[in-house]
Structure 1
Amino acid sequence: MQLYATFESNIFLELALSQLEQKGIHKENIFAVPLDNRTEKRRVFDSIHRADGISLIDIGVALATAFSVVGISIGFKLAWGPIFWGLISAFTGFALGFAIKLFIVFFVEKRKRVLIGKHSEVILIIDCEETQSELVEEILWNHFALGVAKIK
């Protein structure tokens, strides 16, 4: 049976490895693979082949609709008429919404991604007997594994 676990690279990983060896799992049956975390920054704009699910125009379209309705209403009393003022206000609302969304993506969510969340840094693969699997899994969870999977 094989058990897979992901860990952050810290002292708890070392403690888990030493406790597994104390419980009878040989070093030859433990394989640790360090992961390379992403070093390049995420792209903001999507291409035709890659999309990350973040829409930059959703707030812009909503504000463009709201601003155009107000602009058309006011445009009946202004010199250029409702069509021009509706287009001008729609463009203004879209630009404002796009700027708000860019601010949120660049500053608010970027800071949240850096501060919140744990990153897997090591994958641990353990070969053991089926009778030892519960013990090994308990040791891994007790030493703060980020995830554990069993394969028979």
Structure 2
Amino acid sequence: MQLFATFELTSFIEMAVVTLEKKGFPKEKVFIVTLDNRKEDRMVFDTIHRSDGTSLIDIGAALATAFAVIGASIGFELAWGPIYWGLIGAASGFILGFAIRLFTEKVIKKRRRLLKGYHSEIIMIVECKESEAELVENILFNHYALGVAKIKNV
């Protein structure tokens, strides 16, 4: 059986390896791989092949509707009439909503992603018997593994 665990780059990895050695697992049964984390910023605009599930036009559509209604209502008293002022209101509401959403994605959510700071930087693979899997899993979680997966050898 193989157990896969992800860790942050801390001294707890070394402590986990030492604990596993004390419990009778030789160094040859423990394999550690470092990951390269993404360096470039995430893309804000989606492509046809990739989408992150966030929409930039949701606030724009709502503000376009609201500004179009207000513009058309006020347009009855203005020179160009309600249709032009409704279209002007819709365009300005959409642009304002799009700008608000773009600002929140680029500035505010980027700060949140940087503040979270939990990055998987190490993968540890432990080869063990099926009866020892629970012990190894407990050791890995006690040494602050971010996640553990078990795979049975067939």
Are 1:4 and 2:4 counterparts?
yes
**How far is 1:117 from its partner?**
4.5
Amino acid at match of 2:123: I
Amino acid at match of 1:85: W
Task: Please give the alpha-carbon distance, in whole angstroms, between the structure 2 residues aligned to 1:134 and 1:47.
Answer: 43
Alignment of 1:1-152 (within 5 A): 1-152=1-152
**How far is 1:66 from its partner?**
0.6
Structure 1: unaligned runs, 5 residues or longer: none
What is the CA deviation profile of residues 88-135 of structure 1, one whole-angstrom value per residue up to 9, with x for unaligned ones?
011110111011001100111000001015110011110011222111
Task: Please give the alpha-carbon distance, in whole angstroms, between the structure 2 residues aligned to 1:51 and 1:31.
Answer: 34
State TM-score, norm by structure 1. Answer: 0.97
Task: Please give the alpha-carbon distance, in whole angstroms, between the structure 2 residues aligned to 1:41 and 1:134.
Answer: 39
| Count, aligned residues | 152
State TM-score, norm by structure 2. Answer: 0.96
Secondary structure of the corresponding residue to residue 3 of structure 2: strand
CA RMSD of aligned residues (A): 0.9
Task: Please give the alpha-carbon distance, in whole angstroms, between the structure 1 residues aligned to 2:135 and 2:53.
Answer: 40
Task: Please give the alpha-carbon distance, in whole angstroms, between the structure 1 residues aligned to 2:108 and 2:65.
Answer: 25
Structure 2: unaligned runs, 5 residues or longer: none
Secondary structure of the corresponding residue to residue 132 of structure 1: helix
Task: Please give the alpha-carbon distance, in whole angstroms, between the structure 2 residues aligned to 1:130 and 1:103.
Answer: 51
Which 4+ stretches in 1 moved above 6 angstroms?
none
Task: Please give the alpha-carbon distance, in whole angstroms, between the structure 1 residues aligned to 2:148 and 2:47.
Answer: 35
